[in-house]
């Protein structure tokens, strides 16, 4: 059984879905939306979960997915101050509201995010007191939207990056004391690395649908 840790899960749900052509957070995999899949993984891993949506009234189609979220005191929906400025402002909004010393950031379109991977990254960060971020490296790239952060120092870091005109979480990490975990080491928690399957376009969604069917049939570990 997955242990819920004293950490805050931050789910970024405010993207435009421009490549998808429709609101990807509301797409259904089985009987649940993509956003609900992601949220349930964080609720299984963290004692507090914050879903960061675009400003109220923004026509991004995420309202349907938000309405399907579980009703629990552990979960809150927050709204960014500005729409469509990329993920960094959403991360800052979440870190500013986080009630724990460590936070885990996830993209809302991560329906196969494994709770054991979330817990592994949180524990790895907790074991390294001089490190402020524990970031997977998959497909030769750092993955700052599936990563564990120390709340206070990373809030300061990312706020300063925004003030300096930076919009990329990946580039902003260069300002921080962060460690990367290689894909080979991540496989102890998620052998197939399905946690890193995001839904950016129709081809990604087709892959996600196929994987959902395989997982239900027990064909994929």
Q: What CATH number should be reported for the domain holding residue 116?
A: 3.90.550.10
Total domains present in the chain:
1
Model pLDDT for residues 56-85, shown as the tens digit of each residue:
766 566 888 899 999 999 999 999 877 777
Q: Which domain range does residue 129 map to?
A: 5-217
pLDDT band (50, 70, 90) for residue 35: very high
Model pLDDT for residues 170-215, shown as the tens digit of each residue:
999 999 999 999 999 999 999 999 999 999 899 999 999 999 999 9
Higher pLDDT, 5 or 61: 5
Which residues lie below 8 Å from residue 119, measured CB to CB, with a gap of 6+?
2, 3, 5, 45, 189
Q: State how far Cα 41 lies from the chain centre.
A: 10
pLDDT band (50, 70, 90) for residue 2: low
* Separation between Cα atoms, residue 113 and residue 195, nearest integer Å: 4
What is the C-alpha radius of gyration for the chain, rounded to an integer number of angstroms?
16
Model pLDDT for residues 108-151, shown as the tens digit of each residue:
999 999 999 999 999 999 999 999 999 999 999 999 999 999 99
pTM: 0.93
* Separation between Cα atoms, residue 216 and residue 31, nearest integer Å: 12
Given this model, what pLDDT does residue 137 score? 98
Model pLDDT for residues 44-56, shown as the tens digit of each residue:
999 999 999 988 7
Given this model, what pLDDT does residue 3 score? 75
Which residues lie below 8 Å from residue 47, measured CB to CB, with a gap of 6+?
4, 5, 6, 7, 8, 74, 100
pLDDT band (50, 70, 90) for residue 21: low
- In this model, does residue 22 exceed pLDDT 80? no
Could you tell me the two tokens for 196? 């890193």
């Amino acid at each position: 059984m997955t242990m819920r840790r004293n950490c805050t899960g931050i789910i970024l749900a405010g993207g435009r879905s421009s490549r998808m052509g429709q609101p990807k957070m509301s797409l259904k995999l089985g009987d649940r939306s993509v956003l609900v899949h992601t949220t349930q993984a964080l609720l299984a891993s963290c004692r507090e979960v914050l879903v960061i949506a675009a400003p109220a009234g923004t026509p991004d189609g995420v309202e349907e997915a938000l309405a399907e979220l579980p009703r629990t005191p552990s979960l809150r929906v927050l709204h960014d101050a500005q729409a469509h400025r990329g993920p960094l402002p959403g991360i800052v909004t979440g870190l500013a509201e986080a009630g724990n010393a460590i936070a885990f950031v996830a993209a809302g379109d991560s329906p196969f995010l494994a709770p054991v991977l979330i817990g592994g990254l949180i524990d790895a960060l907790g074991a390294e007191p001089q490190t402020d971020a524990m970031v997977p490296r998959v497909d030769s790239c750092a993955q700052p939207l599936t990563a564990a952060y120390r709340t206070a120092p990373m809030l300061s870091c990312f706020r300063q990056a925004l003030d300096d005109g930076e919009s990329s979480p990946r580039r902003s990490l260069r300002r921080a004391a962060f460690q990367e975990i290689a894909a080979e080491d991540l496989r102890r928690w998620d052998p197939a690395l399905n946690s890193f399957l995001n839904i950016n376009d129709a081809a990604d969604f087709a892959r996600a649908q196929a994987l959902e069917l395989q997982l239900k049939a027990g064909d994929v570990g």
